[in-house]
Structure 1
């Protein structure tokens, strides 16, 4: 046992020759090995703040892991469909405009495969639905031989136009979420919470420095006395004025860094910015779903009207046949 104490005292003596970084590392290693006799404890209120900051960081990481999908246009694009370059060439609205002037099947096909006027069209579920609906509409139109228009083909074309509008509303929602929610939460995670982490590291550095100084100067004092360890309360009596001053300086730095970290952590926890950003996320979602509801609500009676007309025509033809 005496040999182990002598070894620990020898380590403390060696530690006095280290740089501040090495001294902190040396102190940390001793603590991990269970060789540190005393470890300065952080105030309970400080530890509580650390736990709350850690929870806030975990919340930001978990939410951003999901909501970051709003930065990827194709997050709801069906993975099983295969669209060609010509399919993505023009908007559905542009194709419908071109189709309105087509007088032959060849012109209609050319309208569907017209070269792009700008960048490829968005890969979202609603845009894909719009393109599929328009192509389906034209397939029926091309094979229709009766009088008037094919009601299903007409309905599909109207549905295509509505779906494209819903898709554009979704893209507008995503843009708002990116600028008003994602940007804010990423700033909190990568800046504000990082400042808090840095302040906490400074506290840990100051604590390790304080404890390494205490261990070193007290270790030196013990070597001047008897072979046995000094009793509690006798340490300061044996310390020189220089040693006591060194400890007090390290204690002052520890207190300063702790107070600074408390201030930074409270600021991160008290700021209303994350909640404000969350409100913006919800507002963007509400606006998108309201637009989608309005577009589809406007379309629904038109499709129902076509359905009623077709059913009436169908009943009439059955009555005439009988």
Structure 2
């Protein structure tokens, strides 16, 4: 029996999650429908723009993403501590980027906010507590990503009904091994689908955006940065080296052929050595990431601990 959504996403186990949304209709999310000849390629930009916009609103960072013809992949990091330190006014203003809010929240953020009564303040604080919780919630993040895209696509297609296949699928990434494997898996989706030949030509992916900014000496402000393994205090980020990660993606992509999903050459990849992976372990995690893992991903030891905690929580409930 599948785990309930509230059990699949447990920040006490990990803040990292891989989320997948798939289209339910025959018509593509993006790309060209060979049956009708219609081209939906422009919708890729809808998804990418909306996804990266949401990182400026939520306390959730994007580690990796790929917008495919009929599904999307995102690897997310929930920064719940960030949301705790936002002021009430900042919470309200962030929420207003997505929705109108309430009359009280609009009044609270106005240029000349009037004095509120005690009853109004109690109601406002209760409302802002709900907004604060939502701004660090993956389900709300995915909802705010998918619903506008569905409405826009339905309007363009002049139809109604479901656009996405139920709720999104989520996988908990329990350790650095799973996080690295999943990010590479996501970044190489276009190459495996034969719609791109190299990472730098993979449109609407995080790896292309990282490569573009890296050439200019920067890291994308809308993606979670790579900080390596710093000895000095650094901003929160991915504990990998950006250059070595790009080498890893490139090496993984070179080995993929039309007749084989690929293999990893561990001898040529320093990041794998740092993570303590052997060749077979990495192949198992990367080549069949979605089929190998269900609601969580990690090494066997971390998976066992995770499943044991899930069983304990389930029996306690």
Give me the TM-score of the superposition, normalised by structure 2. Answer: 0.19
Greater helix percent: which structure? 1
